[in-house]
Every structure is written in structure tokens, then in C-alpha cells.
């Protein structure tokens, strides 16, 4: 960690903080616009992503990850199922447990909705050399870890 302090550094840090805040807000608005195309809301869309990536996802686990109540989780799952993104299936090892499974039926539509941002991000990343990409990747990973931890502690403090 740098111990250097200068007006230029302070300006750079402030610019990065502002850019990260702006990026978060713009990302939320983009996700809202894309979610609306599928008849969902941004939370539903994030839950679709979790259903695609989280193995053996149950309604309880989804509620735990998102911090939603069980009734809110049920409503999200109902909308995701109605939109064709997920199915609820019985766990073959424990028939009392319901597993949320991505159907994969709307993968192409979802990929197409995010294609412009992926394409443009690839173009932006192509403008950096490998050393710069390592710095960017490290920064983003550390920021994501921070957000994950802060989300958890914020929820725990509210209880």
C-alpha cells in the first residue's frame, strides 16, 4: 500500500471513487432495463444468474444469499419460473427439498441482451497491456470481495 500523499494522488483516488460509484449506478440501471425486457426486475435477473451459477440452489439458499424473506424469495422464483428461466425440482436424495434449476431455454436471449456490453468491454480491455490488466483484475476482485463482505455485515447488523 502506498504511503505517498500528494494533491495529484488525492485527485486520482477521488476520481476512482466517483467512477466506481457511477459505474455501480449505471450498472443497476442497465440491469433494470434488461430485466424489464424479460418481464422481470433487477433482483429477479440477479437471481436468474445465481440459478445458472450456484450448484444445488434451494429457495432457502437463495434467500440467504440475497437477504430476501422466504415470501419474497417465493415471489421471485414464481416470476423466474413464469418467464421460463428456472424450474423447481425435487432433490432426488431428499424429496422434501426443492432445487432451483436453470432451464437454459432463454440463454441465447439473455446473452444477446448483454452482448453489446460484453463486446464494448472487450474493446476497452484490448487497449490495456497484460500488466495493466492484472492491476485492473486485482482491483475489481478486491472491490467485489469488499462489497460481498459489506453486504453480509450490513445485513447482520440490521438483524
Structural domains of the chain sorted by starting position, each given as residue range(s) with its CATH number in brackets: 7-127 (1.10.10.10)
* DSSP E strand stretches across the chain: 86-90, 98-102
pLDDT, average across residues 48-66: 92
Q: Tens digit of pLDDT for each residue in 12-41?
A: 999 999 999 999 999 999 999 999 999 999
pLDDT, average across residues 110-135: 97
Q: Name the residue among 19, 88, 24, 79 with its Cα closest to residue 57.
A: 88
pLDDT at residue 1 greater than cutoff 60: no
Return the DSSP state at 89. Answer: E
pLDDT at residue 159 greater than cutoff 80: no
pLDDT grade for 157, boundaries at 50, 70 and 90: confident
pLDDT at residue 95, rounded to an integer: 87
**In contact, 100 and 59? CB cutoff 8 Å:** yes
Q: Name the residue among 68, 73, 99, 67 with its Cα closest to residue 86.
A: 99
> pTM of the entire structure?
0.82
pLDDT at residue 126 greater than cutoff 90: yes
* DSSP E strand stretches across 34-153: 86-90, 98-102
Amino acid at each position: 500500500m502506498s504511503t505517498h500523499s500528494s494533491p495529484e494522488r488525492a485527485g486520482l483516488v477521488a476520481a476512482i471513487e466517483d467512477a466506481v460509484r457511477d459505474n455501480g449506478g449505471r450498472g443497476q440501471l442497465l440491469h433494470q432495463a434488461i430485466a424489464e425486457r424479460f418481464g422481470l426486475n433487477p433482483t429477479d435477473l440477479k437471481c436468474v444468474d445465481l440459478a445458472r451459477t450456484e450448484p444445488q440452489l434451494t429457495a432457502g439458499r437463495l434467500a440467504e444469499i440475497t437477504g430476501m424473506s422466504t415470501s419474497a424469495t417465493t415471489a421471485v422464483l414464481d416470476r423466474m419460473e413464469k418467464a421460463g428461466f428456472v424450474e423447481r425440482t425435487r432433490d432426488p436424495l431428499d424429496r422434501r427439498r426443492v432445487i432451483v434449476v436453470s432451464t437454459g431455454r432463454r440463454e441465447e436471449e439473455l446473452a444477446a441482451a448483454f452482448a453489446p456490453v460484453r463486446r464494448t468491454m472487450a474493446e476497452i480491455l484490448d487497449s490495456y497491456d497484460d500488466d495493466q490488466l492484472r492491476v485492473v483484475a486485482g482491483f475489481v476482485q478486491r472491490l467485489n470481495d469488499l462489497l460481498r463482505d459489506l453486504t453480509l455485515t450490513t445485513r447482520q447488523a440490521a438483524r
